[in-house]
Structure formats: structure tokens, C-alpha cells
A = this chain, B = another copy of it.
């Protein structure tokens, strides 16, 4: 891939056009190389390095570039001198129908999505479904805040919420009112729906989804938990 194409991968439009995303920095590249041990499709990644990383041994094809070229490709003010271009369709592990699904409806914050991916990878046994209109999981900010967890979590994008009832046996949703998270029915669901940071769960669909509402009991001093916190606590409770 050409240098001036790579720098365009910071924009979703070009990630979709070229089918690739950027993985920047030593730590994330190491995570990518580790993930490649279990996911042969990742061998299609290409590494771009400055002379600082000329000796870096990698399973990926390696291209040396100048510091100036690296700066033009990089998302950060002080580039580390190492980045990988990765085909997006190679990144997520194969989806398994038996994994518990976490469905996020129009999640917006890259840091929230990155943190959630880290939690799903930590616990294992989960897959992520994202609605249309969600933040792009291949956004460099998401990849960075996921600390590489993105390479370990099966994902489906642009999932239509109305298709969930035909795919899952029991749908739960997190809401301001509902049964306690520690109720035994909570663990019986195979898909959990979480709403957007500002608007919460999409009420217009809940009836037709036949979703059971659960809540994380609080003392009422503040309006809501952070979205990622609500997801992370739910995931913890589900596997507890």
C-alpha cells in the first residue's frame, strides 16, 4: 500500500474503500503478532517501521520508511516508529453462535467501546454485536483504548436490532428500572442490549423484542452509570 493511501486510513471512508485499518505503536503491534499465532488470517498484515525498528523480527511483511513518512502516516504527535496495516476482515476471530452476545445500540464514545472490548476479551465467552450508527471499532482511538483486545473478540457490525429475536432465545436489556442484575433470570439470557450513552436503550423496539429489563441497583444520587461501566458490570455478573 502507498504511504499516501495509508495516511487516509485514519478516516472511516477510506478504511472502507481499502478494507484495511491501522495498528500503531510497539505495544499494539506486539498484541497483533500474538493474536496472529491463533488467527492465520492476520498473516496478511504489513508492518511499516523506521530505522529504529529495523531489527524488529515479525511474522509480517516489513517495509522500512523514513521518519518523515512515518510522521505522515501516524495518528499520534510523537510516532513510535512502528505501525501495521491490517485487513479489517482478518481482525476479529471467527464468530461462534454459542457465545453470549453483547449488543450495543449506537454507542458513540471510542474510549467506551475500547474498554468494553478489553472486558470482553478478559472474560472470554462473549461476542460483540454493533448496530449501524455506532462508533467504528476500527477507529484508531478504539483500537488504542482496547489495548489490542479488538484482536480477540468476535464482532458483527451493522446488526439490525429487529433481527435479534429470531437469532436469540432470551434477550435482556439494561435499563433504569427492572429486575436486579443478581436475579437468577439475568444469567439465562443469551443476548444483552445496551443503549447509547445519552439516550439509553431504544424503547421503540423493546416491546417487539420481548426483552426482559434488568437494572444495576443504586442509591439514586446520580442519574446513571457510565455506559462502559454498566456493560462491564453486566459482563462480570453474567460470567460470575
Contacts and interface: CB of A to CB of B under 8 A. Distances in A.
Interface in A176-234: 182, 216, 218-219, 221-226, 228-229, 232-233
Given A223-B147, A229-B228, A236-B233, A218 B123 contact: yes
Contacts of A137: none
Q: Count identical subunits in the complex.
A: 2
Interface centre among A111, A145, A232 (most CB of B within 10 A): A232
Given A216-B236, A232-B232, A233-B233, A225 B182 contact: no
A218 to B, nearest CB: 4
Contacts of A225: 118-119, 122
A175 B62 CA distance: 37
B219 A124 contact: yes
A148 interface: yes
